[in-house]
Amino acid sequence: MFETVAIVGPGLIGGSMGMALRTRGLARHVVGIGRRRKSLSNALEVGAIDAATLDVAEGVQEAELVVLATPIGTFAALMAEIAPAMKPGAVLTDVASTKTEVVETISACLQDRPDIIYVPAHPMAGSERRGPLAANEDLFEGAVCIITPLADTYPEDKSRVTDMWEALGCRVVSMTPQGHDRAVARISHVPHLSAAALINSLEEADMRVCGSGLIDTTRVASGPPSVWLDICLTNRKEIAEALENYITELQELVEALESNNVDRLREALRTAKERRDGLRARGEPRRERT
């Protein structure tokens, strides 16, 4: 599928991509680009990449596909090095969890490189762990990958990125960057903040008697704060709005409890179960949860 792929940031997501591209024979050569020697040597060791370099320009120059898999906050600075170094007509993708601001930032950095094909993507997979040692070649198996192609992208170029994600096991869905950010605020960002708020509202003594419900419900709150801060800051408006809706839903439960409104409580619990069971029926990700 690709001769050479460059992965900028071969951590959990980038490293899992590298592993899957290699073991599935989708890339002949995977170059990992990072800032820390230790992290790159871990990525080499687990088989996420074939070669490693600290030099961004050198790392991307031979690649037909460059994957930007670092935290969002690093994109502008990295793109200043990546954009001039990329091969003519090469494909660029990113795996960021927010899209509107990210697409603007990256597109601006590509102004002098109209030949580069940029197809933004967001694989909805991950875990609260990070780094190449958490990488897993089946991470994307059964997951959804949202792509947010630019208006002027040719269908065949879109297909190159779509085909790759499908080959990694994803179901690919296409949205606008704005539609993505609105949906993902509800699907991913509010769940994260709800878990963070849940754990922050516990008292110290509670921590000693928690059960499996709390453990599962708050798992995502162990995710890296710096990554989640970037997500919050680049999708503030949509997250705030979705959080407000969530709070309204919770306030209705408080009212139902206070007024002893049995029917309303029963209905909320019943609807939630029905919808959650529906989620499962559509297939929970098959990979092992870490």
Residues 152-211 contacting a copy of itself, CB under 8 A: 173, 183, 186-188, 190-203, 205-211
185, 158, 178, 169: which is closest to 239 by C-alpha?
Answer: 185
Q: Which of 1, 57, 144, 150 binds a copy of itself (CB under 8 A)?
A: 144
- Contact call for residues 44 and 31 (beta carbons, < 8 A): no
User: Mask 247-266, x = binds a copy of itself (CB under 8 A)?
Assistant: xxxxx-xx--xx-x-x--xx
- Residues of span 210-249 touching a copy of itself by CB under 8 A: 210-225, 228-229, 232-233, 236, 239-240, 242-249
Rounded Cα distance between 117 and 100, Å, is 17
Mapping DSSP to helix (H, G, I), strand (E, B) and coil, where does residue 288 land? coil
Q: Which of 124, 133, 150, 167 binds a copy of itself (CB under 8 A)?
A: 124
Q: Using the rule CB under 8 A, is 148 a contact of a copy of itself?
A: no
Contacts of 90 (CB under 8 A, 6+ apart): 63, 64, 65, 66, 116, 117
Q: Looking at the chain, how many residues does it have?
A: 290
Q: Which of 125, 135, 164, 168 binds a copy of itself (CB under 8 A)?
A: 125
**Two tokens, residue 96:** 């960021």
Q: Measured from the CB of residue 1, what is the shortest distance to a copy of itself in angstroms?
A: 24
**Torsion, Cα of 28, 138, 280, 131 (10° steps):** -110
Identify which of residues 54 and 202 has a Cβ nearer to a copy of itself in the complex: 202
Identify which of residues 23 and 271 has a Cβ nearer to a copy of itself in the complex: 271
